[in-house]
Amino acid sequence: MAKKVTMLRSGKTGQLMAAGDYSHRSIVKFGSVIVSGAEPSPDSVRVNVERSTQALARVTKKLANPGIALREKKNVPQFSVAEGEIGIFVRRLNGRTDRGRFIDGRFQVIE
């Protein structure tokens, strides 16, 4: 038989239905939010710990590499800073690489 538990929240009264007794249930509170549910089995916990460990190993590999990879798209330039040259940029566009400066907001190629 379900038990009725009366709860108060911000001056309002609501009803929380719970099946059976609370001996095998967990209650977790996050601020004013209360979540209750059946406790997971030890096998379920072990499997989920293994899966989360594998997921953490995968994401660690990605986070260990600095920077990002940008895919080239046709007619979309990619700009980077020329190493050791102040005010000089490198533009990659449609397989061509040019060096230049930005003058009045436009890229001007340096010969």
Shared domain for 58 and 91, answered yes or no, is no
**SS3 of residue 59 by DSSP:** helix
Q: What is the largest CA-CA distance in the chain?
A: 85
The total of structural domains in the chain comes to 2
Look up residue 71 and give its amino acid.
R
Same domain? 58 vs 85: no
Determine contact, residues 102/91, Cβ cutoff 8 Å.
no
What is the per-residue pLDDT for 61? 86
28 within domain boundaries: yes
Q: Which residue has the tokens 């001996």?
A: 23
Instruction: Tell me, yes or no, whether 30 and 58 share the same domain.
Output: yes
Query: What is the predicted pLDDT for the residue at 27?
Result: 87
Helix (H, G, I), strand (E, B) or coil at 12: strand
pLDDT mean for each 10 residues of the chain (111 residues): 51 49 75 89 94 94 82 93 93 95 93 76
Is 73 among the domain residues? no
84 backbone dihedrals φ, ψ, rounded to 5°: 75, 5
pLDDT for the residue 102: 94
* Cβ–Cβ under 8 Å, residues 88 and 110: yes
The span from the CA of 27 to the CA of 32, in Å, is: 13
Q: Are residues 51 and 86 in the same domain?
A: no
pLDDT of residue 94: 94
Residues 16 and 45 in one domain: yes
Asked whether residue 52 falls in the same domain as residue 84, the answer is no
Full domain range(s) for residue 101: 78-109
State residue 1's pLDDT score. 47
